Structure 1
């Protein structure tokens, strides 16, 4: 997968999360979860783009670790939405899979970058 493809994938994930959250109940819980979830999903793409402009290998690793944390957090919010029944939508399954895959991609990227920095 190219950098451009991954940039687009993270952007589309963020857009899908925004659209899902737009359908959340207009309650205090709905607003709070939406706010946190949209931030974590957006941070994946934003920090991935920042990692591409890293000043050093250690800066790249640091930024990729942030991306990894945010992808995992997004996965967490999807699990909460699914388990709580706050929103019942077939999009959650696809987003759960995408969050899982993004977490796996950035985990592998982190491991590879750390391994390469030791050489």
Structure 2
């Protein structure tokens, strides 16, 4: 079976987001920003999974574009959590790097799907 890098990376990213959410709630007692992070960070992989079984090329592009928006929103929440002191620099850089890699892959997929029309 062909390896699907974005599917794998987005799932592993979602796992990290869930664990980060648990850490923020349990250790930092932060519930508002972390809930937003949980929603956007886990929806990236969900949209990738939906795109996998898209009904058309247009539907595929639409779902990938939503995944792109969600990972971008996730970057925002991560940056906000860092700037407000809920994440150390090391914690931030670790997950921010994964998010940046994901947005680059998703953007490449979206651009490639538009070229191959």
Structures share fold, TM-score greater than 0.5: yes
Match in the other structure for 1:80: 80
Q: CA deviation at 1:87?
A: 2.8
Between Structure 1 and Structure 2, how many residues are aligned?
Answer: 113
Distance 1:32 1:74 in 2: 14
Contact 2:6 2:102 (C-alpha < 8 Å) held by counterparts: no
Match in the other structure for 1:35: 35
**Residue 97, structure 1, aligned to residue 103, structure 2:** no
Match in the other structure for 1:8: 8
Q: CA deviation at 1:90?
A: 2.5
Runs of 5+ unmatched residues, structure 1: none
- The alignment's TM-score, normalised by the length of structure 1, stands at 0.87
- The alignment's TM-score, normalised by the length of structure 2, stands at 0.89
Distance 1:39 1:115 in 2: 31
User: Where in structure 2 are the equivalents of 1:40-59 lying within 5 Å?
Assistant: 40-59=40-59
List structure 1 runs of 4+ shifted beyond 6 angstroms: none
For residue 8 of structure 1, give the secondary structure of its aligned residue in structure 2: helix
Q: CA deviation at 1:89?
A: 6.1
For residue 90 of structure 1, give the secondary structure of its aligned residue in structure 2: helix
